[in-house]
Amino acid sequence: MKFVDEFRAPELIGKAAEEIRRLAGNDRHYRIMEVCGGHTHAIYRFGLKDLLPTNVELIHGPGCPVCVLPMGRIDDGLSLTASPEFIFAAFGDMMRVPGTHGSPLESKARGMDVRIVYSPADALKLARMTPEKHVVFFAIGFETTAPSTALTIARAKAEGIRNFFVFCNHVTIIPAIRAILDSPDMRLDGFVGPGHVSTVIGCRPYEWIAKTEGKPVVVSGFEPLDILQSIVMILRQLQSGEARVENQYKRVVPWEGNRAALRAMADVFELRPYFEWRGLGFISQSALKIRSAYAEWDAERRFSVPGVRVTDPKAAQCGEVLKGVLKPSQCKLFGRECTPEQPVGALMVSSEGSCAAYYNYQLHKPVTIASAVTA
């Protein structure tokens, strides 16, 4: 099987866009948040905004794990692996994220042993291969990646590997959505629910958003047609005065999620009382820590972590952008001091961060389907 560069069902994309215009009418404004950074990337990449009427606005949510990680955690991770007996292992996405004294990549240039791994299992493998070193895996991600870290820690324990440690920064999506809904400067009408996170947690955890907040949630795939269909489903609910959780991404997301993955997480992790999110501040029970049964593999318990807290660069307005109060281009640094090549804020680092997506696609549109399907 190969990568093929063609859209699925372009004729349906045009129809979905037409249906959105019909449903949205012109008597009110709709604000819909796509929670997941993967959706943000797709929306910019495919120029989907150009297909939407001006009264349907997409607000980019907090679902980019690199973007919501406070700088202090990067400083902590790098500081605990500073001495030569340590190896700092992390996903490639983390490597250019700026800490106070530079990114992991810059730390490598200064002589720290920093490695990219593509799987937590490979960080464990690195520990097996280098028994004389302490390998610290800088774990990051929502429920999509947390089960893999959990299973890796369980495997380290089962195999008795003592030189593997996890610096855990896993976060959970539901408390972040709650924090956004509780935020006084935020008014939203509905949510495009995350696709891959829902593969793990299923659709049930979103039900409170529909029931108590009265907002529709549609778990969505990532193709242009998926995202447009999800917006159609949200608008239909709003038109009929309903609020339900629907699953547009049935081909991948089971309603109940992945129970084995949830068990692995529950076995290894417990909720932290609170955790700091960039742009959103402290959110209670929004992150995972390693249970005491696995304390030996927990970098935070085994080594002294300074617990650095860093305020974001003053001029950067990551918080406002992250909450959807400002558009990326409205930030004072956007495209000048802060670019994907020289990121100041984390939203510019990851391709799933809204600033990087906006910079890469809004300014230099490489792919757009708007012209093709609206003609």
Partner 1 sequence: MCLAIPGKIIEFDAQQPYLAVVDIVGVRRKVDLGLLQDESVHPGDWVLIHVGFAMSKISEADAADQMRLLALLGESESAMEEVQGYGLDSPPPSGKGWEFVS
Residue of 237, 227, 148 whose CA lies nearest to 195: 227
Site for partner 1 contains 254 (CB under 8 A): yes
Q: Which of 47, 141, 279, 328 binds partner 1 (CB under 8 A)?
A: 141
- Applying CB under 8 A, which of residues 82, 260, 266, 293 lies at the interface with partner 1? 260
Q: Which residue in the set 103, 199, 220, 248 belongs to the binding site for partner 1 (CB under 8 A)?
A: 199
Inter-residue contact 284 to 324 (CB < 8 Å): no
The enclosing H or E element of 374 equals helix 370-374
- φ and ψ of 90, to 5 deg: -155, 165
| Close Cβ partners of 83 (under 8 Å, ≥ 6 residues apart) | none
Q: Which of 25, 85, 101, 109 binds partner 1 (CB under 8 A)?
A: 109
Smallest gap, in angstroms, from Cβ of residue 239 to partner 1? Answer: 29
Burial of 189 (0-12, 13-18, 19+ CB in 10 A): buried
Question: Closest separation between CB of residue 152 and partner 1, Å?
Answer: 8
Binding mask 57-96 for partner 1 (x = CB under 8 A): --------xx------------------------xxx---
CA distance 352 to 36: 8
Question: What string marks each residue from 307 to 346 as x (binds partner 1 by CB under 8 A) or -?
Answer: ----------------------------------------
Residue 283 amino acid letter: I
What dihedral do alpha carbons 319, 320, 321, 327 form, nearest 10°? -160
Q: Which of residues 215-244 bind partner 1 (CB under 8 A)?
A: 222-223
Candidate list 261, 287, 349, 355; residue touching partner 1; CB under 8 A: 261
> Do residues 219 and 195 touch, judged by C-beta distance below 8 A?
yes
The contact set with partner 1 (CB under 8 A) reads 1-8, 37-38, 41-42, 45-46, 65-66, 91-93, 105, 108-109, 114-122, 125-126, 129, 140-141, 144-145, 147-148, 151, 155, 196, 199-200, 222-223, 251-252, 254, 258-261, 264, 351-352, 366-367
